[in-house]
Amino acid sequence: MQTHNHIEAVIFDWAGTTVDYGCFAPVQVFTEVFTNAGVAPTPQEVREPMGMLKWDHIRTMLEMPRIKREWIRLYGQAPTDTDADKLYASYEPALLHILTRYADPKPYVVETIEKLRALGIKIGSTTGYTDIMMEIVAPQAAKAGYAPDCWFSPDSCNKKGRPYPYMIFKNMEALQIDSVSKVIKAGDTVADILEGKNAGVFTIGILDGSSVIGLSEAEFEALSEDEKNALRKHAEQKYLDAGADAVVQDIRGILEYL
């Protein structure tokens, strides 16, 4: 196993990685918004672009073959940016309305962050949420014991969210890290992995509670060990296919790479 004793910062994603087990807040609202527009998406369609800026996520879903076909059948033409704008206009208020309920830290997050800090490591974060969304999530998470040293949303980078690497560079600037070789990026979506690889940093996928697995904690815990491992194996492959340098079962696994 590759260990990196020169690591100075770990940059985490938010929903599905450090808070909101299974990444359910965005999923719930994407499903609602598309269903209200007449095209009910499958959980898989909703989760595939997870981690992107939310407008980009909607636009990506609109281009999915089945959704696009349904859209044309319903509206007589292919979906446009204007359609994405309209869906987003109903998406944002609906998400803001429920976000406080989805800001609790995932298992092992608070104590793992404490261990990282004890090692002198700085904690950064990037997200597919916007600033307005983060102004709800970050204080809630802080109350529950998780507060990174900084966070950046795509709003800080001219809306260029993942897979662009700019939010990671914003973190490096804020945390005063002088080289990408001193940074680990950890997340729970393919978009997180692409963001990390595009930034040139060591990139880790987290399995349990991830959007890629997409189950609530109760659903996951109800499975047999074999079923859990089959899901983990499938998710791990997705991360590796996207270029992940490592995959860990939960956030504690990151400590092994330091």
Annotation marks residue 54 as catalytic: yes
Cα separation, 115 vs 108, whole angstroms: 11
Classified as helix, coil or strand, 123 is strand
30 and 115 Cβ atoms separated by less than 8 Å? no
34 and 87 Cβ atoms separated by less than 8 Å? yes
Cα separation, 88 vs 54, whole angstroms: 8
Catalytic residue chosen out of the listed positions 13, 188, 208, 245: 13
First to last CA, the chain: 10
Catalytic residue chosen out of the listed positions 20, 54, 56, 228: 54
β-partners of residue 124 are 11
Cα separation, 257 vs 5, whole angstroms: 8
Query: Cα 78 to chain center, whole Å?
Result: 28
68 and 78 Cβ atoms separated by less than 8 Å? yes
Annotation marks residue 238 as catalytic: no
Provide the annotated active-site residues: 13, 54
